[in-house]
Amino acid sequence: MPAILAIRDLRKSYANGFEALKGVTLDIEEGEILALLGPNGAGKTTLISTICGIIIPSSGTVTVGGHDTIEDYRAARSLIGLVPQEINLEPFETVWNTVRFSRGLFGKSRNDALLEDILRKLSLWEKRKSRIMELSGGMKRRVLIAKALSHEPRILFLDEPTAGVDVELRKDMWTIVAELKASGVTIILTTHYIEEAEAIADRIGVIADGALLLVEEKENLMTRMGQKQLEVQLTTPISVVPEQLAHYDLQLVNGGDALVYTYDTRGERTGITGLLNDVAQAGLALADVQTRQSSLEDIFVDLVSGDAP
Amino acid sequence: MNWTAVASIYRFEMARFFRTLMQSFLSPVLSTSLYFVVFGAAIGSRIDQVEGIDYGAFIVPGLIMLSVMTQAISNASFGIYFPKFIGTIYELLSAPVNFLEIVLGYVGAAATKALFIGVVILATASLFVDLTIAHPWAMVLFLLLTCLSFALLGFIIGIWAGNFEQLQLVPLMIVTPLVFLGGSFYSISMLPPIWQKITMFNPVVYLISGFRWAFFDTADVPVGLSLLAIGGFTTLCLAVIWWIFKTGWRIRS
Ligand SMILES: Nc1ncnc2c1ncn2[C@@H]1O[C@H](COP(=O)(O)OP(=O)(O)OP(=O)(O)O)[C@@H](O)[C@H]1O
Ligand SMILES: [Mg+2]
């Protein structure tokens, strides 16, 4: 299947000479959810803005649904919905008119039923007659989302959609994203909440200093880079690690109640069988065994700080 | 053409106008009345007639032009500056619309507002003086073209402006003087010969002269020249806007 979004060696230098994108190449399949992670100033917003036509790229190409975003911008842009990071809304206009304007601007004929449906899903229906300035910050962010959805995009960019949004609403957002995915919409979102990427993304991209460090299936990434910990709980606490187990680099935790063994899931041999044998050999009795996988957050921190292999 | 988009922009912009309809209506009525009291009564009692026309009536076309030009510029410049200022322009830049559609929406709305004010002033003026319009259709045409071309100029100013001061600067420092010196309140023939020559470099002279011809059938410059001037001015503004969107000047980084 051809990629619905194809980015080729995209570069952007701002007027002040700062190079915010240093040759980004990326393919996104139709219907997938890609989460872009990266520290502040990594270039996430710049990348999204360049795809959407707000920023002119210095070089490189972007095609959306096969349409070049510059040569054939009309066709390309009509597929895209954008929820910007900043809350940019006309303060004096009502919610309803603001959302209706977006639909019209994208050349779509009036469809009040659809707008009602979107506003209800985002819990904005009661507020449709309110002026934007009368809304709370989280509500304004939802208006931005409603605007982007109003013209039925095939690709949706969510630039930190859950920043400043309460936990409940964040969960609602995830539900909406899941529904959109089910209807075939491709979603690219940026976030600083790693659990969010972990919860909803199919693939994870990590960007830092204007370059994509990696893009990978979430599951793969977590197994490939993840470290697992095996915790061996003992029936009787011990004060020192027995001699026979010294070469395993074990940690004694919980006041001698348990041994923790850290291993890499990528390794050919995890060494677990050997360890468990040797533990028995050393005359220790096992009460229980647990494994723990490191979260995406740990992986991410390692990557960006350059510790990752 | 994405006409739905044009209509959406137009409607959204007009909504701003309707929110402040009373202001939009009252202020031209008030200022026109003041002009008549001051110019008509004070000066008119000394100047009686200009080129065979009652002075009170003579200043009506200039008065309308003065308001229409400044209103068209300030509406259009604010209309596009405001989205830039509050950031909503992102949506315009990411929408499947071309420059002509954006311009038609914004400039169309600004021109409509200016036209409305022109009509209000004409109506107010007719309460003070007897007005007969010699060429009604030409009057409408000149009025429309002026609204349109000055709204285009305003649009350019709005894109150029980096802050609110600059937004006010051009109308205040350039347009108002040109309009006042463009024969709004006097006939060019009343000036000393040297000023008659200099004044011919003022583009506004051609517009006011043409507009006045439509009312009274007398003009400072030939009507054809007036039309040519306003047509040329409109084309020039359109070309500049086309260039702005092509290069992204001041709107796309
Ligand atoms: N208009 C601009 N002119 C010059 N530099 C800019 C401009 N906009 C952004 N930058 C720089 O480009 C870099 C990337 O910015 P960008 O907004 O894309 O980061 P980001 O990944 O979205 O960060 P955040 O997580 O804080 O939103 C930053 O170093 C920023 O300072
Ligand atoms: Mg950002």
> Ligand nearest A49 Cα, by number?
1
What is the pLDDT at residue A230?
Answer: 87
Backbone angles phi, psi at B33, to 5 degrees: -60, -40
Confidence category of residue A199, pLDDT binned at 50, 70, 90: confident
| Mean pLDDT across chain A | 90
Interface test with B, best of A49, A56, A80, A105 (most B CBs within 10 A): A105
Q: Residues with Cβ within 6 A of ligand 1?
A: A 14, 16, 18, 20, 38, 40-46, 85; B 253
Q: How many angstroms separate the CA atoms of A221 and A223, rounded?
A: 6
> Ligand nearest A37 Cα, by number?
1
What is the pLDDT at residue A266?
Answer: 67
Q: What is the dihedral of CA A155, A161, A166, A171, to 10 degrees?
A: 20
Residue of A45, A58, A87, A162 with the most ligand 1 atoms within 8 Å of its CB, for mutation: A45
Confidence category of residue A68, pLDDT binned at 50, 70, 90: very high
Q: Is the pLDDT confidence value at A309 over 50?
A: no
Partner residue opposite A101 with nearest CB, options B12, B94, B96: B12
What is the pLDDT at residue B173?
Answer: 86
Which chain A residue has the Cα nearest residue B84?
A88
Question: What is the CA(A146)–ligand 1 centre distance, in A?
Answer: 25
Ordered by start, the domain boundaries in chain B are 3-247
Place of tokens 């008509």: B40
Residue numbers of chain B with a pLDDT score lower than 50: none
Residue A291 C-alpha, separation from nearest chain B C-alpha, in angstroms? 48
Q: Is the pLDDT confidence value at A296 over 80?
A: no
A178 touches chain B (CB under 8 A): no
- What is the location of CATH 3.30.70 in chain A? 227-293
pTM: 0.86
What is the pLDDT at residue B181?
Answer: 86
Partner residue opposite A107 with nearest CB, options B5, B12, B91: B5
Partner residue opposite B91 with nearest CB, options A73, A97, A105: A105
Place of tokens 């022109």: B118
- What is the location of CATH 3.40.50.300 in chain A? 5-222
Atom of ligand 1 nearest to the CA of A42: 21
What is the pLDDT at residue B35?
Answer: 81
A88 touches chain B (CB under 8 A): yes
Percent of chain A with pLDDT over 70: 96
CA dihedral for A106, A111, A114, A120, sign (positive or negative): positive
Which chain A residue has the Cα nearest residue B98?
A74
Residue closest to A306 by CA, chosen among A205, A192, A209: A209
Q: What is the pLDDT of residues A145-185, one digit of tens each?
A: 999 999 999 999 999 988 877 888 888 888 889 999 999 99
Choices 3.40.50.620, 3.30.360.10, 3.40.50.300, 2.40.50.140: CATH for A5-222: 3.40.50.300
Choices 3.30.420, 3.30.559, 3.40.390, 3.30.70: CATH for A227-293: 3.30.70
Q: Is the pLDDT confidence value at A307 over 60?
A: no
Tokens of B128: 């003070």
A307 touches chain B (CB under 8 A): no
Which chain A residue has the Cα nearest residue B249?
A56
Q: What is the pLDDT of residues A14-45, one digit of tens each?
A: 999 999 999 999 999 999 999 999 989 999 99
What is the ipTM, given to two decimal places? 0.89
Interface test with A, best of B16, B85, B90 (most A CBs within 10 A): B90
Q: What is the pLDDT of residues A247-275, one digit of tens each?
A: 888 888 888 889 898 887 766 777 888 88
